[in-house]
Amino acid sequence: MYDAVGEKSGFLQILVYYGGKMINENDQKILISYINHILIEKNRKNFLETVNIIFMNKFRLFLLVCFLLFMVSVIPHRSGFAEENLLLHSNAAEKHILILNSHQQGLPIPDGVIGGVLRSLKMNQVSVDNIYIEHLDFFRFNTPGHRADMARLLEKKYKNIRIDLIITVTKPALDFIDNEGKGLSPYTPVLATIIPVEKRGGIEKKFKRKVAILPWRMDSAGTLRYALELFPETRRVVVVNGIHDEFLPFLPSAREDFAAWEGKIDFEYTMDLTYNEMIKRIGSLPPDCIVIYAPYFADKTGKSFIPVEVAVMVGKSANVPVFSLIDIYINSGIIGGSVLQSGIIGEQAGKFALDLINKRIALTEQITLVKPVYVPMFDWIQLNRSGGNISVLPPESVFLKRPLTLWGQYKVIVLASTAVFIIMIIFSSALVSRNRRLKAAEQSIRESEEKFKSMANTTPLAIYMSSGIEQKAEYINPTFTKLFGYTIEDVPFVSNWWPLAYPDEEYRKTISEEWQRKVENAIINRSEIEPMEAVVTCKDGSRKNILWGFVSTGIQNWAFGLDLTERKQAEAKINDLLAAKELLLQEVHHRIKNNMNTIKGLLTLQLTAEENPSAAASLR
């Protein structure tokens, strides 16, 4: 501030020129330095407080972001791949898809597939209004006449709707669309799901349309491999299967898969037994046996069963470990195996359907096979109950009903919380450090304020500090009150000062116009004004000659007044004495001159009367 004001500033000129011996030059510099210091420290305090507020707001925002990231991290993500295609919905939303389910609604496998398809399509913004589902119920109504009637009904129903893709669920629906239903949108491609592939080489049948097939080939070999690793002493495998499995054929592919173990392990099939005989058989097996459960639709008598209900009875009745080829049977007391998941098949079908209707994939062949996905899935409780060696299973295995350990259950939460805690410690340390610096700055400000007040309270200058364009009073020193009698309550704003200090309206107008012009220019340029003298009327009615100075820092405005009344009175008295001296000198000079003229006249008269020549010469 001292450098900013400068040695030739208006305020310093007041001190140097008019202060005389009241304030020496060293005190002048000290006072200016402290004024500057307190202003800078106040600005610095305001800046630190602003930075601290911004820092705290950003810290709170950072904690909020960490909390949201933490919440996102602990929310399980939806399985599958539908999320990869969220940007493909613009074209898919305008397409029409027809799903033909071979069965009635309510069966686990078909419903699981359809549910997976719908999830994929809906996640990609395909409207449900553009998805049509027909449950053909061929398991219960499969006569040629019924099939023909169903074909005519569907052709009429969808005559005026452009179908972009047909998805079939299990083989009867595919056979239907290739025969009786061939007139139903005849040029629309077909995506067939749960289609049995009895040979590893593929499908030999020729279709009238281009068909993409998600094959239904249960991983009998993979399931047997896991079973033998868990129970290496196994010597016999009892395969629980029935008849009428044309919807989900199992036996041909199973025998093909099991051929690698022929001669090492004995295989027994239950399709030649009644349901009750099968239940009795699996309940009395020797310890070196295991059971593999395949979908069981009917026994040798032709009596129909619901496969999932049969699975529950097999799990309860068997006295040896039971393995499955499909995920929905595992919760029935069955250990598990390398399984097909109907939901994943459906999601895979949904993704493939989106790729087809969005032209990302083109069916260039008459038949396109899509590789099935198998999942090693096991019931943790059944595994431990049967004594299987869990460590031999692959690390990607999925375990159902596995008890959660503290680490397993809260690992993500602990890791996320630890990360947030570490970040909070870092920011807390930064806050502590910043608070220390802020406290040090505040202490420095308090000390500076004390030094400033000490100087301001003892200086002979009247100080009035205001802020803002309205010039609201923030501080006046004791000298101001002692000199003029006004307190800060009397002059809370500069506007209150004018009528009190300059009651004469004409004089006030003259002074205020000159002062306002100089002050406004100082505020705009953040500079000082040249000293300005005015006669101030005090609270007790007395009048004093004051020399005013003004400095603006942009935040505070400082007005300084130096009392010149005594100096003015002394100057007036000196001027009166000088005038009296001049008058006395003039009177003495006049009298001396008159006396000299009298003496001269007398000498001249004496000269004329003197007769002695020698005396006359002396008088001359």
- Amino acid at position 27, single letter: D
pLDDT tens for each residue of 213-246: 888 888 999 999 999 999 999 999 999 999 876 6
Q: Give me the pLDDT at residue 204, please.
A: 61
CATH code: domain of residue 553:
3.30.450.20
Q: Give me the pLDDT at residue 520, please.
A: 81
Query: Would you say 546 and 486 are in contact if contact means Cβ atoms under 8 Å apart?
Result: no
Verify that 312 and 171 share a domain, yes or no.
Answer: no
- Domain membership of residue 80 (yes or no) is no
- Domain membership of residue 51 (yes or no) is yes
Verify that 313 and 379 share a domain, yes or no.
Answer: yes
Q: Give me the pLDDT at residue 530, please.
A: 82
- Most confidently modeled range among 42-46, 407-411, 460-464: 460-464
From residue 539, how far is each of 397, 484, 495 by CA, in Å?
95, 6, 16
Q: How confident is the model at residue 553 (pLDDT cuts 50, 70, 90)?
A: confident
Q: How confident is the model at residue 313 (pLDDT cuts 50, 70, 90)?
A: very high
- pLDDT over 60 at 41, yes or no: no
- Domain membership of residue 590 (yes or no) is yes
Verify that 238 and 378 share a domain, yes or no.
Answer: yes
Q: How confident is the model at residue 595 (pLDDT cuts 50, 70, 90)?
A: confident
- pLDDT over 80 at 600, yes or no: no
- Domain membership of residue 8 (yes or no) is no
Verify that 317 and 439 share a domain, yes or no.
Answer: no
- pLDDT over 70 at 11, yes or no: no
- Domain membership of residue 355 (yes or no) is no
Q: What is the pLDDT averaged over residues 360-375?
A: 86
Verify that 400 and 410 share a domain, yes or no.
Answer: no
Q: Give me the pLDDT at residue 544, please.
A: 92
In what order do the strands lie in the sheet containing 131-135?
A: 131-135, 97-101, 165-169, 190-196, 211-216, 367-369
Calpha distance 556→558 (Å, rounded): 6
Calpha distance 332→218 (Å, rounded): 18
- Domain membership of residue 522 (yes or no) is yes
The DSSP element (H or E) to which 427 belongs, if any, is helix 406-458
- Most confidently modeled range among 296-305, 412-421, 452-461: 296-305
Asked which of 126-130, 170-174, 445-449 is least confident by mean pLDDT, the reply is 445-449
Q: How confident is the model at residue 10 (pLDDT cuts 50, 70, 90)?
A: very low
As beta bridge partners, residue 215 has 195
Q: Give me the pLDDT at residue 220, please.
A: 92
Q: Last residue of some domain: 215, 249, 278? A: 215
Q: Give me the pLDDT at residue 49, please.
A: 54
Residues 6+ apart with CB under 8 A from 258: 220, 221, 224, 237, 267
Q: Looking at the 3D structure of the chain, how many domains does it have? A: 5
Q: Give me the pLDDT at residue 95, please.
A: 86
Calpha distance 154→152 (Å, rounded): 6
- pLDDT over 80 at 9, yes or no: no
Q: Transcribe 481-547 into DSSP letters.
A: HHHH---TTT-SBHHHHHHHH--SHHHHHHHHHHHHHHHHHHHHHT-B---EEEEEEPTTS-EEEEE
Q: Give me the pLDDT at residue 13, please.
A: 44
Verify that 202 and 235 share a domain, yes or no.
Answer: no
Verify that 382 and 426 share a domain, yes or no.
Answer: no
Q: Give me the pLDDT at residue 234, please.
A: 94
Beta strands in 48-201, from DSSP E residues, in sequence order: 97-101, 131-135, 165-169, 190-196
Chain mean pLDDT for the chain: 81
Q: What is the pLDDT averaged over residues 325-329?
A: 89
Verify that 401 and 278 share a domain, yes or no.
Answer: yes
Q: Transcribe 601-619 into DSSP letters.
A: HHHHHHHHH---HHHHHHH
For the chain, percent of residues with pLDDT exceeding 70: 80
Q: Give me the pLDDT at residue 318, please.
A: 94
Q: How confident is the model at residue 316 (pLDDT cuts 50, 70, 90)?
A: very high
- Domain membership of residue 442 (yes or no) is yes
Verify that 126 and 178 share a domain, yes or no.
Answer: yes
Q: Give me the pLDDT at residue 67, please.
A: 57
- pLDDT over 90 at 58, yes or no: no
- Domain membership of residue 15 (yes or no) is no
Verify that 394 and 268 share a domain, yes or no.
Answer: yes
Q: How confident is the model at residue 82 (pLDDT cuts 50, 70, 90)?
A: very low
Q: Give me the pLDDT at residue 201, please.
A: 52
Q: Last residue of some domain: 563, 580, 604? A: 563
Q: Last residue of some domain: 215, 241, 265? A: 215
Q: Give me the pLDDT at residue 517, please.
A: 86
Parent domain of 516? 462-563
CATH code: domain of residue 313:
3.40.50.2300
Verify that 399 and 276 share a domain, yes or no.
Answer: yes
Verify that 110 and 187 share a domain, yes or no.
Answer: yes
pLDDT tens for each residue of 380-405: 999 888 888 888 999 999 998 888 77
Q: What is the pLDDT averaged over residues 612-618?
A: 69
